[in-house]
C-alpha cells in the first residue's frame, strides 16, 4: 500500500470537546476512504489548545517554539488537512484563526482541505461557507465541496441513509481522497453542508 500523511487540526477548547469528537470522526472516515483505494493514511492529530501560548508568543515575536514549529512543518508537509473549529460569534474561533495566521504565507497553496465545525445550533453551519471557506480560499488551498457541521443533536443520531453525521463525514472524506489522489470528484449522495446561496442554506436550517 502507498501512504498519505493527513494532519487533523482541532481547535476545541474543552476536554473532551465536540470539535475533537468531530475531528476524530472525519479522520476515521478519511482513513476508511483511503483504504478503499488501497492507500494507507497516516493520521496526525493536533489539538490547538495545547499550543495556545506558543501561538500567541509566535504572533508577537515572530518566533515559533520548537513544539509549535514541528506542528507548523507537519501542516505544510501534509498531503491534506482536516480542520475543525467551534463556532463563536458566527465565525471560527480566535485560536483557530491565530494558528493559520502564523503559517507561512502561501504555504498551503494547493493543499486539499476538509473543513468541519461544531456549534450549539444548526444555524451556525453558515459559518463554514461564509467564514471558514473564505479563509482557506485566501490561503489558496483546495477546499472540499462538502463541509461537515455537527450540532448537539447530531451525536448518536441519523445513521447512514438518513443524512446523519456518519454519512456526511464519509461523503466529505471521499471528496478529500479524490482531491489528494487527483481523481475527479464524483457524486456520492446527499449530505453535509454544500456550497449554496445564503438564502438556500438559511432556508434549510429554518428560522
CATH number at residue 146: 3.40.50.360
pLDDT in the model for residue 15: 81
pLDDT tens, position by position, 13-35: 988 899 999 999 999 999 999 99
pTM of the model: 0.85
pLDDT tens figures, 110-146: 999 999 999 987 778 889 999 999 999 999 999 999 9
Residues 157-205: tens digit of each pLDDT = 544 445 689 999 999 999 999 999 985 544 333 334 444 444 444 555 5
Considering only the C-alpha atoms of the chain, give the largest distance between any 2 of them, rounded to a whole number of Å.
Answer: 50
- Buried/exposed 2-39: b ≥16 CB within 10 Å, e otherwise: eebebbbbbbbbeeebbbbbbbbbbbbbbbebbeeeeb
Supply 152's cell numbers: 448537539
Relative to beta strand 148-150, strand 80-88 is unpaired
Averaged pLDDT of the chain: 87
Number of separate domains in the chain: 1
Condensed to tens digits (0 to 9), the pLDDT of residues 41-88 reads 999 999 999 999 999 999 999 999 999 999 999 999 999 999 999 999
Q: How far apart (Å, rounded) are the C-alpha atoms in residues 196 and 192?
A: 12
Range(s) of the domain holding residue 83? 2-205
CA–CA distances in Å: residue 56 to residues 39, 97, 132: 37, 11, 20
Amino acid at each position: 500500500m502507498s501512504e498519505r500523511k493527513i494532519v487533523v487540526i482541532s481547535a476545541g477548547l474543552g476536554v473532551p470537546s465536540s470539535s475533537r469528537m468531530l475531528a476524530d470522526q472525519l479522520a476515521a472516515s478519511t482513513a476508511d476512504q483511503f483504504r478503499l483505494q488501497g492507500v494507507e493514511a497516516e493520521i496526525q492529530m493536533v489539538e490547538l489548545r495545547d499550543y495556545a501560548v506558543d501561538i500567541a508568543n509566535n504572533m508577537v515575536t515572530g518566533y515559533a517554539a520548537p513544539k509549535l514549529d514541528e506542528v507548523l512543518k507537519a501542516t505544510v508537509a501534509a498531503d491534506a488537512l482536516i480542520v475543525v473549529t467551534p463556532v463563536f460569534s458566527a465565525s471560527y474561533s480566535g485560536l483557530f484563526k491565530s494558528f493559520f495566521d502564523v503559517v507561512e504565507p502561501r504555504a498551503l497553496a494547493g493543499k486539499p482541505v476538509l473543513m468541519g465545525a461544531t456549534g450549539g445550533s444548526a444555524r451556525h453551519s453558515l459559518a463554514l461557507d461564509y467564514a471558514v471557506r473564505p479563509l482557506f480560499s485566501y490561503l489558496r488551498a483546495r477546499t472540499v465541496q462538502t463541509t461537515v457541521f455537527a450540532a448537539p443533536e447530531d451525536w448518536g443520531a441519523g445513521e447512514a441513509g438518513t443524512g446523519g453525521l456518519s454519512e456526511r463525514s464519509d461523503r466529505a472524506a471521499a471528496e478529500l481522497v479524490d482531491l489528494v489522489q487527483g481523481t475527479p470528484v464524483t457524486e456520492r449522495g446527499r449530505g453535509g453542508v454544500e456550497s449554496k446561496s445564503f438564502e438556500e442554506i438559511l432556508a434549510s436550517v429554518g428560522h
